[in-house]
Amino acid sequence: MLKAIFSKLYRNKLATCGGLIVLALFLISWLAPWIAPYDPDKVDILMRLKAPGTDGHILGTDSLGRDVLSRLIWGSRISLKVGFVAVGLATVTGLLLGALAGYHGGIIDSIIMRFCDLMLCFPSMFLILATIAILEPSIWNVMIVIGLTSWMGVSRLVRAEFMTLKNRDFVLAARGLGASGLKIIWVHLLPNAMGPVLVTATLGVAGAILTESSLSFLGLGVQPPTPTWGAMLTEGKDFLSRAWWLSLYPGLAILITVLSYNLLGEGLREALNPHSQEALVR
């Protein structure tokens, strides 16, 4: 099964390209202390706003003389951390609530789904902005708020999968053999519902990174001097006419990262789809 999925994923060139870029980003963030050419927080006023390629600064320097490349490399750590922790929290919350709603149905399903509908009524960015404005802006608050405001899609997806699967023969057989509801959920239903959840989580990482960058751009995300791509964009907008590189490179980093996760997610969607054209041919 896994071999067939990886084979289909490998034949999708765009998904393969996206996966390789995602892997490269992991390596860059992990090796940041060793591959960053300068201290990302080191201020050198004499080197402020140096153009790319000047005095050993490959991507130039910012308004405080800090190396842009080093800050981009260290900023990848923040973006990936926020993306994975936020999506992990959203996925776990969505799995738990969706599993309860889909398996039990009835009043439990109604309560959970009405709460889900209530959360969906609020624009997610407005809800995030309001919550962050009340709390102290920090990386943990950003991750928790993004995670707790983006679980609804996972919950509805898991609920739909459970409602489809719970009347299948293998579930009825397990119930007839005396398996508890908890065992049926975790052993029989959840593994069979993880395909669409995995795709949603992969696409969700891109959305979480974009949300964090937006919050940092507005000054409500991770606070300085911690380097983040969104905060670098905020600084760059004040120097567009003099230092174009301050906005270009963080923007490209966000674009490439989000695009890569979207390509990988779409590839996973096709690879895990049993009704894909390739599967039908076979």
164-217 pLDDT, tens per residue? 888 888 888 877 887 777 888 888 788 888 888 888 888 888 888 888 888 888
Q: Is 270 or 27 the better-scoring residue by pLDDT?
A: 27
Indicate the domain borders of the chain: 71-281
Contact 184, 202 (CB under 8 A): no
Question: How far lies 143's CA from each of 35, 56, 119, 156, 217, in Å?
Answer: 26, 35, 18, 21, 16
Q: Does domain 71-281 have CATH number 1.10.3720.10?
A: yes
Structure pTM? 0.83
pLDDT at 278 over 60: no
14-44 pLDDT, tens per residue? 888 988 999 999 999 999 999 999 999 888 8
Predicted local confidence at residue 35, as pLDDT: 93
Predicted local confidence at residue 273, as pLDDT: 67
